[in-house]
Amino acid sequence: MNLNHINQFIGPFMKNLLLFAVFVSLLFFACDSSTSNNQSDEAKLQQMLDSANAAPQDNKLPEAAVGEILKQIPSPIETSVLIKKSGGTYSKDILNPSENAQSYSSNYKKALNLGVYGADLGYINIYEKNKESLYYLNSIKSMADGLNIGQFFDFETIKRLANNNKNADSLLNITTDNFNKINSFLYEQKRSDQSVLILTGGWLEGLNIMCQIAQKNKNPKLYERIGEQKIIIDQLVLVLSNYESDSNIKLLNNDLKQLQEIYKKVQITYTYKESKMEIVDGIPTIVDKSESKVNITDAQVVELAKLTSSIRNKIVS
């Protein structure tokens, strides 16, 4: 799929989130961004992807290309905001119980469920369940310590800020800084596979929550958001294929490829409209006016929900 199309579908908000933006789900609010797309960065990424496609099939994507693709993956926090706005009621039963954290012994499980718990925490905080959020924050700490990245979290400060909506900006700054450091650390330690697993776990949990709520509350916006993940699943499958020498990741990617097949039935049409210069918060900004339309049926949502739940249950079991 053309990179420009990907950027148009996911929007500036998602594009500007960093690799570990899934964990900005520690915040109570989504953080919208009006920053315009960086054309030079897009050009570089497109060149890297073109080179990878032209290379022999057994060649891996360059690490730089992997990192750039992962920046396209949205944070579950925006989804949680949408669920609440759509009238969806809070349901603890659809989350991964916090006490499960003690049963994850392998780095593979810890990385995936670090992502899962990050998505769950975002959902919990959107509904202001402060007591429950502390249990999940402890689970995240357990997973992070198990992966030897707990040193990048100031959990006491995060707990304090998470219980006060007025400190959302401070919490954003702290978590963004923490995960920038984690990202750099994992890549320096040649553990980029764990970065990918953390992000995949968070994305899949967010999709599972959304699908479960959407089946009860047939809100068009939720259906549209589920359909938009067609672009994201393509990117995840591409990146995970880089690490299929690991048997666990290969099995996970095979499951995601099945999900990808269902998504092929979802139709997304794109209408290009010329971008315009507008003043946003006093700053001249190029605003994209292009539009996309997602066509997804009730039956497709049910099918996606069933398989997503099955894959997710393998991760959290």
Q: Would you say 230 and 263 are in contact if contact means Cβ atoms under 8 Å apart?
A: yes
Give CA separation, 72 vs 10, 107, 162, 195, in Å: 7, 24, 26, 14
Average pLDDT taken over every residue of the chain: 75
User: Is 95 contained in some domain?
Assistant: yes
- 196 vs 261, higher pLDDT: 261
Q: Looking at the predicted structure, is the pLDDT value of residue 277 above 70? A: yes
Model pLDDT, residue 37: 41
Q: How many CA atoms lie within 13 A of 316 on its CB side?
A: 24
Residue 35 covered by a domain:
no
Residue 205 clears pLDDT 80, i.e. is over it? yes
- pLDDT at residue 21 is higher than 60: no
pLDDT surpasses 50 at 11: no
Kindly state the average pLDDT of the residues 64-90: 69
Contacts of 176 (CB under 8 A, 6+ apart): 18, 24
Evaluate whether residue 37 is within a structural domain: no
Confidence at residue 161, expressed as pLDDT on a 0 to 100 scale:
62
Number of domains in the chain: 1
pLDDT digits (tens, 9 = 90+) for 122-142: 888 778 787 788 888 889 888
Instruction: Report the alpha-carbon distance of residue 117 to residue 95 in Å, rounded.
Output: 8
Question: Could you tell me if residue 303 is inside a domain?
Answer: yes
Domain for residue 168, yes or no? yes
Q: What is the DSSP letter of 151?
A: G
**Is residue 19 scored above 50 in pLDDT?**
no
- Give the tokens for residue 81: 């905001």
Residue 276: closest CA among 55, 36, 91, 50: 36
- Comparing CA positions, the residue from 68, 87, 77, 67 lying closest to residue 13 is 77
Identify whether 36 is part of a domain. no
Domain housing 300? 3-29+42-316
DSSP per-residue string spanning 23-34: GGGGSSS-----
Q: Is residue 182 part of a domain?
A: yes
Element (H or E) spanning 48, and its range? helix 39-54
Residue 252 has pLDDT above 80, yes or no: yes
pTM of the predicted protein model:
0.74
How many C-beta atoms lie closer than 10 Å to residue 279's C-beta? Answer: 9
Mean pLDDT, to the nearest integer, of 299-317? 96
71 touches 10 (CB < 8 A): no
* Pairwise CA distance, residues 219 & 296, whole Å: 12
Question: Residue 73: its pLDDT value, please?
Answer: 63
The kind and range of the H/E element at 68 are helix 63-70
Domain contains 34: no
Higher-pLDDT residue of 96 and 280 is 96
pLDDT of residue 197: 92
More confident residue, 62 or 251: 251
| Band of pLDDT at residue 18, cut at 50, 70 and 90 | very low
Judged against a pLDDT cut of 60, whether residue 29 lies above it is answered with no
Locate 291 and state its tokens.
């539009």
Bridge partners of 293, per DSSP, are 269
**276-280/283-287 β-pairing:** antiparallel
For residue 1, is pLDDT > 90? no
Rounded distance between C-alpha atoms, residue 112 and residue 242, angstroms: 17
